[in-house]
A = this chain, B = another copy of it.
Amino acid sequence: MAISSRFSVAAHILTLIHQSEGTRITSEYIASSVNTNPVVIRRILGMLSKAGLVRTSAGVAGATLARPLGEITMLDVYRAVQPEQEELFSMHEHPNPACPVGRNIQASLDGVFTGAQRALEAELASVTMEQVSLDVASRA
């Protein structure tokens, strides 16, 4: 599965919440900054909420951070918006078990794929949303 733009939108949302602390920002306001539909924002906000990164309450404008941005890594965000069982690499499904290669290729590739995915995730885990937010602020 691709890494959808939900990921970048989620990072955008968290940055906005962070830099607007104290203000009540609605999904509509966020949507205008991201330039999309408020429902898209609410959907992603829902994922972030389920993952325990933000807190929202129905009927009340303004999401708040559930913990400081410094304690939220890009990997947390990535996992929050990425469908649970979605693997980054996809494998062809039913290789021929009658063939020595077909029978064993999956297991071999699985090791390589897992290693590569781990490397990517480790990199994401090394960056906090606070760094991102500060970086954005420093460019403004």
Contacts and interface: CB of A to CB of B under 8 A. Distances in A.
Contact of A11 (B99, B105, B119, B135): B105
A88 B12 contact: no
Q: How large is the interface on A (under 10, 10 to 19, 20 to 34, 35 or more residues)?
A: 35 or more
Number of copies: 2
Interface stretch (A30-38, A50-58, A61-69): A30-38
B33 A89 contact: no
B8 A90 contact: yes
Contacts of A113: 8
Nearest to A2: B2
Given A1-B2, A33-B95, A116-B123, 17 more contacts: A2-B2, A2-B88, A3-B89, A8-B90, A8-B91, A8-B92, A8-B106, A36-B92, A100-B136, A100-B140, A101-B136, A103-B140, A105-B136, A111-B135, A112-B132, A115-B127, A120-B120
